[in-house]
Structure 1
Amino acid sequence: MKKSTIIVLSVFLGLLLVAVLIHVWPQGKGLPPLEIKGFAVGEKVEKLETEGPIDRIDVTIGNEQVTIKREDKERLIMSKPKGARADKYKVRQILELFKDGLRSVVGTKVEGQDLKAFGLDDKTRVVVKLDQGETLFTAVEIGSVQKPVGEYGEGDTFIRLVDSAIAYRVIGKDLRRPFEEGIKGLREKKVF
């Protein structure tokens, strides 16, 4: 056999082998991307907590749970302690997280012991549910924040939809910041 024939035959067999491997190789089941639509995308809302469409926020941290409702244009009332006012600044921070929506294509399936590594276990996760009237807008579990090297910037937050097995990494957003002081930190501190 000629040298050129051997080269052509070996290239042909190599390509055939690659084609067979691509066809036979198990296909990775791609995880769906996370996409939570924003409630005021591109809009400029001056007082998001009083003028925005979200009028109820349920927050659960560990064993503590509170509901924040908009009573009227100026009052945000907490369920515990009954009749207490919610801190408008904290409510605005929570709503800002979801105003323009959240997107991520970096996802992984988590369950059991993995939940603690992502901050999504029962003790550390923050469950947030936003309602527009009687309609649930979104319900998410917020996990731990991975700070960037050098401690500058917001960091990346692990998040998952309620009742989902897929944890996503939302890059460049610290979704836990409004909840750093726990449920008590959501209460207005003004005395009079």
Structure 2
Amino acid sequence: MQTTIRFRQGAGRPCLDFIRTLRHRGTADAVEELPDSEALAAWVRQCGPCPAEARQATAGLVRTAQELREAIHRLVGAARTGRTPDAETRARVNEAAAHALPVPALTSSGRLAWDAEDPVRAMLALVARDALDLVTSPALDRVRDCAGTSCGALFLDTSRPGTRRWCSMDTCGNRAKKEALRRRTGG
């Protein structure tokens, strides 16, 4: 079975990729990419080490995932500005981080396989732990807002000079360059 890539990755940290599941954040064109159990299970399959089925991503877990995503966004935002996040935000991320993680095992064929009793909660725990690590690490100074006018994504700038402007050169960067060319040429 071929997995269809439907969620953006490449922000540099799993927690930043997770935040991007609310596409075009802060604009009138915002799109919820985790609206239901099928979408949440697809996100876990694409982005996590353990496969998940839609029946494992209950409606309650969908809401939990959305609330965690927003808490992580607030946590990162507060940390970037030197503020202490509110108690509810800290509690939500800490609670998610406390769940069991996926467990690695070497198969008889010599491949690495991952298992979790609850793959959805395990993936949310991975993301929450990554967020806690990010906001307490020097890497936080390299988190940037995409310069794309309607993007709203955060990304980790791993460029040597630390001057990356777009979450993705293929999407936002390319769009900005095309707009600049149109302005210069009058087209």
Structure label with greater radius of gyration: 1
Higher share in strand: 1
TM-score interval, normalised by the smaller of the two chains? under 0.3
Higher share in helix: 2
Give the TM-score, by structure 2 length: 0.26
Give the TM-score, by structure 1 length: 0.25
